[in-house]
Amino acid sequence: MRGYWLWVVAFGLVFPAVALGAEPAKTGIVKGSITIGGRPTSDVVVSVEGLPEKYLKSQISNLKSKKAVMDQRELRFIPRVLAVQVGAVVEFPNNDKTFHNVFSTSEAKKFDLGLYAPGKSRSVTFDKAGVVKILCNVHPSMEAYVVVKGHSYFVVTDSRGNYSLSGVVLGKYRLEVWHPEFGTREAPFELVREGEVLALDMELKKK
């Protein structure tokens, strides 16, 4: 992988194993821990790319809701990295003691929520896949990212750098990893046996 290792995500995600009108598909699990400089990281979005179109169309999303929250506290966006599916509505509540003005000039989503007071909240619908950099006009040090995916086959690493992607239909795919500083990296992988657990511990580093 040209000197790069990857890191990935931790909220267990279940991939649909059944295509409508078909026999249950055989699946496996990809899991591991991701580190940068030997330390775990929680700012990574990991996804499986290259899955058959029929499974993407017939999938039953494991997302509990198409709504998500990026909080504003102590002059920070929390979480720093948020991953959502296309069509998701993200709330930006102001739980600070000062006014905020959330905006983005990213190609995937350009918006400006205007200035709003503590205790107020405004929202944005993310309708296009891509990486959206979130900023505040009032506080230049505030910075975060919303990573929008066109499917539900993704997770974000937990505080220990762990990730788990379950219910992955057997076959050859690409593990795509995105990080604010390292950008996008890809690693090929293959699941060959039903119930297989493929361990991929990764270290993300520069050449």
Give pTM, 2 decimals. 0.83
Q: How far apart are the first and last CA of the chain?
A: 10
Class of the CATH domain delimited by 67-149: mainly beta
Domain with CATH 2.60.40.420 in the chain: 67-149
Superfamily of domain 13-61+155-204: Immunoglobulins (2.60.40.10)
State yes or no: pLDDT of 184 exceeds 60. yes
State yes or no: pLDDT of 16 exceeds 70. no
Domain with CATH 2.60.40.10 in the chain: 13-61+155-204
Q: Could you give the CA distance from residue 4 to residue 43 in angstroms, rounded to a whole number?
A: 17
197 or 59, greater pLDDT = 197
State yes or no: pLDDT of 202 exceeds 60. yes
